[in-house]
Amino acid sequence: MEEVKQQVVAMPRIGDKAPEFIASTTQGEINFPSDFKGSWSILFSHPADFTPVCTSEFMTFASMEDKFNEANCKLVGLSVDGLYSHIAWLRTIKEKIEWNGMKDVEVMFPLIDDIKMEVARLYGMIQPNEDTTKAVRAVFFVDPEGVIRAIIYYPLSLGRNFDELYRVLIALQAADEFGIATPADWRPGDDVIVPPAGTSAKAKDRMDGKEEGVECKDWFFCTKKIDKETVMKKVLKK
Ligand code: BEZ
């Protein structure tokens, strides 16, 4: 049997403060997460410039950037390539690549130069049993206080679903704004989960239909309605 390489590496986890770093990017120097305080940010890595899956991802994410910005979220990309490679790749995407109905796509969000792999290692983006010299497709959702709220990892061969990343962003914000949780496959407008009652008296009241708007299937499974407009109004601050 092939020996599995194991390495003990401290990786940031959900609930941790996002590790701080200063880096040069295609949009100048950034200080992460301090420069993004007050807004959500998505820090994501891709394996390499000038590769097809990454190109399809960048075109998709760049095309959706306004939508993420409107939800108070900024995007920050990273790969273990240098600045000149990033600049040349992004220019090639804009000038030459037409794909899936997208063309002339300009990537406006910063792409970090991490040729020394310092940030990638800090964030556990190098996963040696997948690849020792490339970052996996990691996605860190960081809240306005600089706390990591969700992490998703994909292998090199699998392009991400950016609608899902948007769904996660909205669900995290909805959970904060309304003090609720979101069930499987939730989308704005679907019923949300009401947190546990806390006391048996309150749970009984809920079961008896005494808490307005709350519907219980059993003591541990209570939902309520929040319409899509109400959710999006909070998230988009409109
Ligand atoms: C790609 O983005 O196409 C890719 C990058 C690294 C390994 C495999 C695929």
Nearest to 108 by CA among 75, 131, 81: 75
Q: How confident is the model at residue 125 (pLDDT cuts 50, 70, 90)?
A: very high
Q: Using the atom order of ligand 1, give the atom closest to the CA of residue 55.
A: 2
**144: preceding bond cis by omega (within 30 degrees):** no
Q: What is the rounded end-to-end Cα distance, in angstroms, of the chain?
A: 58
Residue among 46, 49, 50, 53 to mutate when testing ligand 1 (max atoms within 8 A of CB)? 53
Q: How far apart are CA 181 and CA 194, in angstroms?
A: 7
Q: For residue 79, report the distance from its CA to the centre of ligand 1, in Å.
A: 12
| Total residue length of the chain | 238
Rounded to two decimals, what is the model's pTM? Answer: 0.94
Residue of 44, 49, 50, 54 to test ligand 1 pocket, by largest number of atoms within 8 Å of CB: 54
Residues acting as catalytic residues: 54
The b/e string for 172-204 (b: 16+ C-beta within 10 A; e otherwise) is bbbbeebebebeeebebebebebeebeeeeebe
pLDDT band at 75 (very low <50, low <70, confident <90, very high): very high
Q: Which atom of ligand 1 is nearest the CA belonging to 57? A: 2
For residue 85, report the distance from its CA to the centre of ligand 1, in Å: 16
Nearest in space to 33 (alpha carbons), one of 120, 171, 117, 148: 148
In whole angstroms, what is the distance from residue 238 CA to residue 212 CA?
Answer: 26
Which run of H or of E encompasses 90? helix 83-96
Q: Where is pLDDT greater, at 29 or 211?
A: 29
CB distance 227 to 189 below 8 Å: yes
Residue 4 has pLDDT above 70, yes or no: no
In the block, tokens 């929040």 appear at 226
pLDDT greater than 90 at residue 237: no
| Average of per-residue pLDDT across 131-158 | 98
> How many angstroms is it from 149 CA to the middle of ligand 1?
27
Average pLDDT over the chain, rounded to whole? 95
Q: Strand 214-218 and strand 137-142: pairing?
A: unpaired
CA of 50 to the centre of ligand 1 (A): 9
* C-alpha separations of 133 from 155, 168, 206, 218 in Å: 14, 29, 54, 51
CA 212/CA 224 separation, integer angstroms:
9
- Per-residue model confidence (pLDDT) at position 198: 86
Mean pLDDT, residues 116-132 taken together: 97
CA-proximal residue: ligand 1, atom 7 (nearest): 156
pLDDT-derived band at 197, boundaries 50, 70, 90? confident
Cα 124 to Cα 19, 81, 86, 103: the distances in Å are 11, 16, 21, 33
pLDDT, mean of residues 67-88: 98
Section 47-57 average pLDDT: 98
What is residue 37's predicted lDDT score, i.e. its pLDDT? 97
Asked if pLDDT for residue 1 goes beyond 60, the answer is: no
> What number does the ligand 1 atom closest to the CA of 134 have?
6
Residue 81 near residue 48 (C-beta atoms within 8 A): yes
Cα 88 to Cα 93: distance, rounded to the nearest angstrom: 9
Residue with tokens 């008896």: 208
What residues line ligand 1, using a CB cutoff of 6 Å? 47-48, 51-54, 134, 156-157
